[in-house]
Amino acid sequence: KDKFHQIFYLFEQIQTDKTSKGTGLGLSITKKFIELNKGKIWLSSELKKGSTFHILLPKSKMKRTSNNIANLTKLSSLDFNSDFQFDFKEISHNSQKSIILAIDDEISNLQVLEHYFSESNLIFRFTDSAEDGLDWILSNKIKPDLILLDIMMPRISGFDILSKIREKFPITNLPVILLTAKNQLSDFVNGFELGANDYIVKPYTKIEVLQRVKMHLNISRIH
């Protein structure tokens, strides 16, 4: 209980073990947005039972109309540069669709990526378990043509997974793109030294992800 206030600080994490997950920004940003809207956020938690975050916001004075709802719906579904089309047909192998495997412990990130690839002719597979993802790859349960890999995951990091992948698959045969919030130069260097083909910093855009995926699939096909 003496740590309740501390979790709302920037870059603060309360760790009970050696695993690391996230950057300690989510709650501090959430708190700031709520306070800017003249609201409050607080935590109640009981050992072995769970935690609840309470958010109190003042009631909006804006009239609820059908036009307002329609505009909000349109805004929420807006995808920047959504008219930018990608054709992956020419990089298919023997008319077989290329398989993209995404490994990320955050389901929301995987849902975003699934949406990105929903209109492509690629097969998109994903898991929020680093262990399952590594098992699929090393046991050939899934033979991906490209891997999108998060770095900060509990128990086993993306760097560890990348290192094990490169023990079996050379960099030219199986491209790995790191997707992460870690943006320090040392992280870039470490990733490339371990055998990453590319590095995309979160938050990313649809165009950025699809264009780099297409580029690395083409390079892999050439090799």
pLDDT (tens digit per residue) in 175-187: 999 998 877 888 8
CB atoms within 10 A of CB 124: 19
Q: Answer for the pair 136, 154: CB distance below 8 angstroms, yes or no.
A: no
Paired sense of beta strands 123-127 and 146-150, if any: unpaired
Token representation of residue 115? 């949406």
72: pLDDT strictly greater than 50: no
Residue 53 has pLDDT above 70, yes or no: yes
DSSP-assigned letter for residue 59: P
Residue 122 is classified by DSSP as: S
Say yes or no to pLDDT of 14 above 50: yes
In the predicted structure, residue 77 carries a pLDDT above the cut 80: no
pLDDT at 76 over 50: no
Structure tokens at 207: 């165009």
How does 191-201 read in b/e, with b if 16+ C-beta sit within 10 Å? beebbbbbbbe
Q: Determine the Cα angle at 103 with ends 219 and 107, to 5°.
A: 135
pLDDT classification of 35: cutoffs 50, 70, 90: confident
84 falls in which pLDDT band (50, 70, 90)? very low
- Model confidence over 109-154: pLDDT tens digits? 999 999 998 888 889 999 999 999 999 999 888 889 999 999 988 8
Interval 88-104: pLDDT, tens = 554 555 557 889 999 99
pLDDT of residue 30: 84
In sequence order, the 6+-apart residues with CB closer than 8 A to the CB of 22 are: 13, 152, 181
Is the pLDDT at 48 greater than 80, yes or no? yes
Which among 182, 107, 105, 197 is positioned nearest to 144, based on CA atoms? 197
Q: What is the per-residue pLDDT for 78?
A: 36
Answer yes or no: pTM beyond 0.85: no
Residue 108 tokens read as 């929301």
Residue 96 has a CB neighbour count (10 Å cut-off) of: 9
| Closest alpha carbon to 86 in 215, 220, 179 | 215
pLDDT value at residue 174: 94
Q: Quick one: pLDDT band at residue 196, thresholds 50, 70, 90?
A: very high
pLDDT over 80 (residue 85): no
Per-residue confidence (pLDDT) for residue 135, from 0 to 100:
92
Share of the chain above pLDDT 70, in %: 77
Q: Which tokens is 27 given? A: 């709650």
Task: State residue 169's pLDDT score.
Answer: 93
Measuring CA to CA, which residue among 1, 28, 23 is closest to residue 13?
Answer: 23
- Looking at 11-15, 91-95, 101-105, 201-205, which range is the least confident one? 91-95
